[in-house]
């Protein structure tokens, strides 16, 4: 079973993950993983924190050289900003140092009452999106393996606010190259300019903005996931993983939110052409009955605006129970662009987990052989 736990605080010494279930004898591409971390730090609307951090991961166990051994893999990313916080983070806070005013939309109030430490700082340190750095590293490791299984994951920004960049074929390399070179990660240059203007306006007004991310998984074999139990459905497990990322509020598979279609036009017709099973549409987003159907798994993921805003919002002092205005903590203006990279890698972990659930094995050679043979059986019999 593939699984991981991660730990660490936003301004703590490091972020750490222990990954169990990665097969042995796989040569890890460290440059690929570190490049994913670099991609996560880019994007228009990022805050000052990204000027401090230069994320790189270290592997402390589970590898010999760069080859996996089958043992649990420990991944570590050091926080450079820790040097600026180690005095405060290394001791009990004085009463005047404790944060007591909750920011609406954040985890401040719920965490304050749930864990009763008396300081919102303890909540902020773990609810922060800084945690997604180590999740990106874990997913990038899994994505490294998926690439060798001919499974690819790509994404783009579909919208910022109400400014839409229509979904395009992410597997047209010319189109995707343009998306990758965009600071917004969108395709339409005119739309890109409008989004930049919108983000600049939000920054000037002390506000933030959310949006939608389009993700596509190509190369998934038919039959990954299961309908036999509710907790084995592929779309359900992908949804849980994606919804666990900070700020994500909704997910759509295929065109599942298009209420204009009737059943006869929504369902994807099946054909057998030139000894291949094909569809002429992908309204279901590549999943039927909780199981992959061989088409691209297409998802739209919606992220709310970042809750930390400079604008005054009504809130309360949680200790004194008085009405106050919210406080400001260093933040991005728009987190949608880096979130697209995070979500690609969160998907990668979940996809590899499902693949290994169908093809349990100990070594990468076995895994690749099983997937190749299964594809041949499904598509060539």
User: What residues are designated binding site for NADP(+)?
Assistant: 40, 46
Which strand (E) or helix (H) includes residue 356? helix 336-358
Q: Which residues pair with 248 in a beta bridge?
A: 303
Question: φ and ψ at 170, to 5 degrees?
Answer: -70, -15
Helix, strand, or coil here: 14? strand
Instruction: Report the alpha-carbon distance of residue 222 to residue 213 in Å, rounded.
Output: 25
Instruction: Report the alpha-carbon distance of residue 311 to residue 224 in Å, rounded.
Output: 46
Write b or e for each residue in 268-277: b if 16 or more Cβ atoms lie within 10 A of its Cβ, otherwise e.
Answer: beeeeeeeee
Write b or e for each residue in 330-341: b if 16 or more Cβ atoms lie within 10 A of its Cβ, otherwise e.
Answer: ebbbbbbbbbbb
Binding residues: 40, 46, 126-128, 246-247, 289, 304-308, 330
Q: Which residues pair with 75 in a beta bridge?
A: 17, 59
Binding residues for FMN: 126-128, 246-247, 289, 304-308, 330
Dihedral of CA 135/138/144/149: which sign?
A: negative
In sequence order, which residues have a C-beta less than 8 Å from that of residue 334 and are 6 or more positions away? 43, 44, 45, 160, 199, 202, 208, 209, 210, 211, 306
Dihedral of CA 157/14/238/308: which sign?
A: negative
Instruction: Report the alpha-carbon distance of residue 197 to residue 191 in Å, rounded.
Output: 10
């Amino acid at each position: 079973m593939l699984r991981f736990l991660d730990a660490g605080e936003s301004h703590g010494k490091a972020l750490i993950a222990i990954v169990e279930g990665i097969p042995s004898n796989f040569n890890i591409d460290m440059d690929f993983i570190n490049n994913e971390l670099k991609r996560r730090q880019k994007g228009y609307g990022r805050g000052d924190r990204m000027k401090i951090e230069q994320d790189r991961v270290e592997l402390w166990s589970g590898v010999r050289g760069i080859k996996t051994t089958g043992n649990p893999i420990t991944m570590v990313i050091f926080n450079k900003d820790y040097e600026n916080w180690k005095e405060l983070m290394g001791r009990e806070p004085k009463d005047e140092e404790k944060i007591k005013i909750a920011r609406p939309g954040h985890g401040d109030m719920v965490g304050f009452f749930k864990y009763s430490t008396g300081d919102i700082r303890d909540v902020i340190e773990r609810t922060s999106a800084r945690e997604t750095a180590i999740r990106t590293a874990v997913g990038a490791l899994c994505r490294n393996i998926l690439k060798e299984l001919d499974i690819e994951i790509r994404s783009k920004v579909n919208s910022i606010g109400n400014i839409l960049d229509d979904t395009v074929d992410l597997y047209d390399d010319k189109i995707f190259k343009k998306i990758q070179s965009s600071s917004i990660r969108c395709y339409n240059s005119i739309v890109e300019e409008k989004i930049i203007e919108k983000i600049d306006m939000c920054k000037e007004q002390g506000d933030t903005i959310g949006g939608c991310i389009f993700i596509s998984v190509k190369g998934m074999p038919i039959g990954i996931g299961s309908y036999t139990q509710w907790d084995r459905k592929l779309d359900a497990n992908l949804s849980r993983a994606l919804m666990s990322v900070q700020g994500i509020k909704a997910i759509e598979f295929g065109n599942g939110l298009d209420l204009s279609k009737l059943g006869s036009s929504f369902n994807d017709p099946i054909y057998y052409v030139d000894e291949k099973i094909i569809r002429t549409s992908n309204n279901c987003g590549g999943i039927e009955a909780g199981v992959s159907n061989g088409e691209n798994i297409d998802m739209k993921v919606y992220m709310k605006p970042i809750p930390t805003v400079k604008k005054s919002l009504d809130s309360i002092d949680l200790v004194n129970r008085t009405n106050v205005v919210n406080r400001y903590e260093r933040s991005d203006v728009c987190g949608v662009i880096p979130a697209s990279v995070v979500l690609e890698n969160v998907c990668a972990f979940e996809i590899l987990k499902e693949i290994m659930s169908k093809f349990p094995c100990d070594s990468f050679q076995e895994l690749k052989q099983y997937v190749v043979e299964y594809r041949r059986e499904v598509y060539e019999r």
